[in-house]
Structure 1
């Protein structure tokens, strides 16, 4: 496995937008430039990030999350560059996130995922998330008590 650094940090709009552009193939909504830019702006202004970087500092993965409604931590975005998938990096980032939010007294994590994104659903289930059907034809909510 490549040597990497996982940490909690703030990302600015440029960092988020640049990374979103690199991962547009994973997110159909990102093909709309207006949506991409407004989502990057919202996340860079309001979210905290667990990042995964190479030793040289290149951003290769992120989890964007909100801790503004205790005891709920809401994961709003997860992405990893294609060449780094399947190496256990998402699990490492998630475990780091869970430790951080738990230390801050948060006891519930929630996210939303496309029903068609089977690999993401499996990854979340492997981390202990449970599916809650929200009557949407396209998405599931998933939750985990920590």
Structure 2
């Protein structure tokens, strides 16, 4: 049995999105549903643009497959081959889901879990270059 190891480091947002799109990062079913409001997403994005720390994300890397996983913020995540390890989000789900739902161009809503899915309009956010702020889409 391999001894557990802890590795730390920063990852760029585009790399995190790519890892989610490939099925490398998943949400275990025991995590709560996505609960953030749009103002919390805007605050997170404001921290990102100002290069402030946004906290850590704790991932459990394993080849063991959990029976149930959850989508990410209402979007389908593809399965990857059984022999590849999966990184399950143990802490940081709201942040990683907000970043993915806001910036990914490969999102597809998951109707199978509609009761858990947030209103996807909260992710309709734009960057205003004049005011240098993220703003919600005008309705």
Q: Report the TM-score when normalising by structure 1.
A: 0.29
Q: Report the TM-score when normalising by structure 2.
A: 0.30
Compare CA radii of gyration and give the structure with the larger one: 2
Structure having the larger proportion of residues in strand:
1
Asked which structure has the greater RCO (Cα within 8 Å, sep 6+), the reply is 2
